[in-house]
Amino acid sequence: MTGPHARVRVEGADPYDVVIGAGVLDELPGLLGDRARTVAVVHAEGLAGFARPVCEAVARAGYAAHALPVPDGEAAKEAGVLAGLWSRFAGLGMTRTDAVVGVGGGATTDLAGFAAASWLRGVPAVLVPTTLLGMVDAAVGGKTGINIPEGKNLVGAFHPPAGVLCELSSLATMPREDYASGLAEVVKAGFIADPRILELVEADPAGAARPDGPHTRELVERAVRVKAEVVSADLRESGLREILNYGHTLAHAIEKAEDYRFRHGHAVAIGMVYAAELARLAGRLKRDDVERHRAVLRSVGLPVSYRADAWPELRAAMAIDKKSRGATLRFVVLDGVAEPGRLEGPDEDLLAAAYREVGR
């Protein structure tokens, strides 16, 4: 954790670095390559002020920088917005050697990455996540995509970026609840792989819940390192990478039920408690570990329950979860802290019983 920047390598067929710290935008020109001429800077509308220095850094390096605003949040991840970007890329005359820079939260980087993956069958993308959730989850791993009415992230592509720049100063203006939402993915990394994350949060939950907390960079770096190690070994979610979906089966169902107006991290927090209860009822996880889920998540301001009457709707939504195989529902569960496993085809009574522990 020493030095001005932390650097995490994501290995694979197309390796890249995730750079974490203050002043990391200086590395942007070096990631765009010497063949690019035009750079499309896709940014959330509300981040025009942050996108400006990104465009300036690109322009100073001799590229033609074009700021392309898109709607804030999940409203960006729609087919119409994606088609609009394709038209704008065509208008800029973007070729296969040109590049896309995605600036914003996870929704924006998901969209920008998919636009890059699909334009001319793939152009380079550099991602500049500006939220905690974007830094530790969406921007790392090469998964890109959009939502459709039938579900979240059902249309997309694997497209590893040329690099990811996590400018920690961008976290300072995040609303408290949005920052807490990102902490859900940090805590998830602690439960599935790195218990030191949990210890840091438990030792100082108030500090963990602040962007200027004493361990912010370490928490971000540790969460990124967990994801990097997993996706380096399994880019296309053929096995190991599934553990990153801990809590996400119920979470995605909640998001769909809420028409994607529910914070992703809040849904993941509830989903992790549900998965923990499922594992406990299946005889695989101790009650103390389940209660640790609730305690850690509550300590940083995250929810651990959802509407009791929502189960029929949530169960129907889970049927088309991406982790399902045919008619078999699959869950990532824990056999202990940092001991992830899978639960396939659980009994319907077990599923409902676990939800009763979460419903309120």
Domain boundary among 122, 151, 173: 173
Q: What is the pLDDT of residues 206-244, one digit of tens each?
A: 999 999 999 999 999 999 999 999 988 865 655 667 899
User: Alpha carbon 101 to chain centroid distance?
Assistant: 17
Q: Are residues 86 and 224 part of one domain?
A: no
Categorize the per-residue pLDDT at 58 as very low, low, confident or very high, splitting at 50, 70 and 90. very high
Classify residue 339 by burial, with Cβ atoms within 10 Å: 0-12, 13-18, 19+.
middle
Annotated binding residue at 46?
no
Q: Which residues of 78-93 are buried (b: 16+ CB within 10 A; e: fewer)?
A: beebbeebeebbeebe
Check residue 324 and give its pLDDT: 53
Q: Which of 108, 185, 172 is nearest to 145 (CA)?
A: 108
Looking only at the bridges linking them, the beta strands covering 16-21 and 38-44 are unpaired
Over range 335-349, report the average pLDDT. 96
Q: Are residues 160 and 182 part of one domain?
A: no
CATH code at 128?
A: 3.40.50.1970
Q: Are residues 89 and 39 part of one domain?
A: yes
Annotated binding residue at 110?
yes
Annotated binding residue at 322?
no
Domain boundary among 156, 173, 190: 173
Torsions phi, psi of 127, nearest 5? -110, 135
Over range 279-302, report the average pLDDT. 98
Q: Are residues 156 and 293 part of one domain?
A: no
Q: Are 288 and 189 in contact (CB under 8 A)?
A: no
Annotated binding residue at 108?
yes
Q: Are residues 180 and 97 part of one domain?
A: no
Check residue 326 and give its pLDDT: 54
CATH code at 282?
A: 1.20.1090.10
- Residue 329 clears pLDDT 70, i.e. is over it: yes
Check residue 319 and give its pLDDT: 86
Could you give the residue numbers annotated as active site?
121, 143, 185, 227, 237, 241, 245, 248, 252, 264
Annotated binding residue at 130?
yes
Q: Are residues 105 and 206 part of one domain?
A: no
Over range 111-135, report the average pLDDT. 97
Check residue 233 and give its pLDDT: 81
**What residues does 16 pair with on adjacent strands?**
10
Check residue 213 and give its pLDDT: 94
d(CA 119, CA 90): 9
Could you please report the per-residue DSSP string of 310-343?
A: GHHHHHHHHTT-TT-BTTB-EEEEESSTT-EEEE
Q: Are residues 148 and 201 part of one domain?
A: no
Please list, in sequence order, all residues whose beta carbon lies within 8 angstroms of the beta carbon of residue 199, skipping any fewer than 6 positions away.
Answer: none
Annotated binding residue at 319?
no
- Residue 4 clears pLDDT 90, i.e. is over it: no
d(CA 284, CA 53): 50
Percentage of residues in the chain with pLDDT exceeding 70?
A: 95
Containing structural domain, residue 59: 5-173
The percent of the chain in helix, strand and coil, each rounded to the nearest 5, is 50, 20, 30
Model's pTM, two decimal places? Answer: 0.91
- Residue 99 clears pLDDT 50, i.e. is over it: yes
Annotated binding residue at 188?
no
Categorize the per-residue pLDDT at 327 as very low, low, confident or very high, splitting at 50, 70 and 90. low
Domain boundary among 173, 203, 225: 173
Annotated binding residue at 77?
yes
Q: Are residues 134 and 205 part of one domain?
A: no
Annotated binding residue at 335?
no
Q: Are residues 221 and 163 part of one domain?
A: no
Q: What is the pLDDT of residues 259-283, one digit of tens each?
A: 888 999 999 999 999 999 999 999 9
Joined together, the tokens standing for residue 283 give: 């005889």
Categorize the per-residue pLDDT at 1 as very low, low, confident or very high, splitting at 50, 70 and 90. very low
Check residue 2 and give its pLDDT: 46
Check residue 234 and give its pLDDT: 66
Q: Are residues 54 and 73 part of one domain?
A: yes
Element (H, E) at 199: helix 195-203
Over range 89-103, report the average pLDDT. 97
Looking only at the bridges linking them, the beta strands covering 330-334 and 340-344 are antiparallel
Q: Are residues 292 and 224 part of one domain?
A: yes
Q: What is the mean pLDDT of the chain?
A: 93
Joined together, the tokens standing for residue 228 give: 């990097």
Please list, in sequence order, all residues whose beta carbon lies within 8 angstroms of the beta carbon of residue 302, skipping any fewer than 6 positions away.
Answer: 180, 181, 183, 184, 187, 265, 266, 269
Q: What is the pLDDT of residues 150-194, one digit of tens each?
A: 877 889 999 999 999 999 999 998 999 999 999 999 999 999 999
Annotated binding residue at 95?
no
Q: Are residues 344 and 280 part of one domain?
A: yes
Annotated binding residue at 5?
no
Q: What is the pLDDT of residues 15-39, one digit of tens each?
A: 999 999 999 999 999 999 889 999 9
Percentage of residues in the chain with pLDDT exceeding 90?
A: 84
Annotated binding residue at 62?
no
Check residue 110 and give its pLDDT: 96
Annotated binding residue at 107?
yes
Check residue 245 and give its pLDDT: 93
What's the domain count of the chain?
2
